[in-house]
Amino acid sequence: MRLFSYCIQTDDGAAPNPFWGLCTLTICKPVIRRVAEVGDWVVAIGSVNVKGEDYSGKLVYAMKVTLKMTLEEYDEFCRGDVPQKIPDLSHSDYRRRVGDCQYEYSGSNNARQRSGVHKPANRAKDLRGVNSLISKHFYYFGKKAVKIPPKFSRLLRQGQGHQSTKNEPIKTQFIAWLEKKFVRNKLYGQPQIELNFIKD
């Protein structure tokens, strides 16, 4: 089991998408999505400046990967099981607007990008990730990000990229702390940023 940690600069409800009973990471973080396996953990640390708020040193979310699918498989899964994760920019429910199932295959190997949070400029990076990471065992804090105890400070990271090797010595203790202290699959807070969508 590996524990990946990274600094989340934009927590808007799309990556991760913690809604509809599943926490999914399907856009952004292409390297983690490509190499993480079922049983691994992904943890995001807050950024130092999110619209004037300092979330550094705080846990924004943690997810245990319980399922891994290709983006094509995820598209099929969403259409059949969680259509709410398919973005609908005209919907009144914010959660529907930030759906992360942005790539439609419809029997073709060529992905069509749905209108959503990510634009054509994000397409190549998103597709490099190859997979969607899915969790039925997660903790999402968003705006109510919680301070990470000093004994787990090696998890902390600012800037681009991610780390996993550095987390090895404390991964088991960190997960034990997390699971003892918090209720799984609960949204403790809303996303730190709410996007404004311009309707066509």
User: Which two structure tokens, joined as six digits, stand for 114?
Assistant: 């749905």
Using a 10 angstrom Cβ sphere, with 0-12 exposed, 13-18 middle and 19 or more buried, the burial of residue 175 is middle
Rg (CA), the chain: 16
> Does the pLDDT at position 200 exceed 50?
no
Mean pLDDT value across residues 116-138: 95
Mean pLDDT value across residues 88-116: 91
pLDDT band at 120 (very low <50, low <70, confident <90, very high): very high
% residues pLDDT > 70 (the chain): 96
Q: What is the mean pLDDT of the chain?
A: 94
pLDDT band at 146 (very low <50, low <70, confident <90, very high): very high
List pLDDT tens digits, range 39-66: 999 999 999 989 999 999 999 999 999 9
The whole-number pLDDT of residue 38 equals: 98
> Does the pLDDT at position 199 exceed 70?
no
Mean pLDDT value across residues 6-23: 96
Give the CA dihedral 127, 132, 138, 142, nearest 10 degrees. Answer: 30
Q: Which of 2-11, 83-92, 152-161, 163-172 has the lowest mean pLDDT?
A: 152-161
Beta bridge partners, 44, equal 6, 61
- Assign 61 to helix, strand or coil: strand
The whole-number pLDDT of residue 158 equals: 66
CA distance 37 to 53: 33
The whole-number pLDDT of residue 108 equals: 65
Could you please report the per-residue DSSP string of 105-172? -TT-SSPEEPSSSS-GGGHHHHHHT-EEEEESEEEE-GGG-EEPPGGGGGG---SSSEESGGGGGGHH
Mean pLDDT value across residues 122-143: 97
CB 86 within 8 A of CB 97: no
CB 16 within 8 A of CB 23: yes
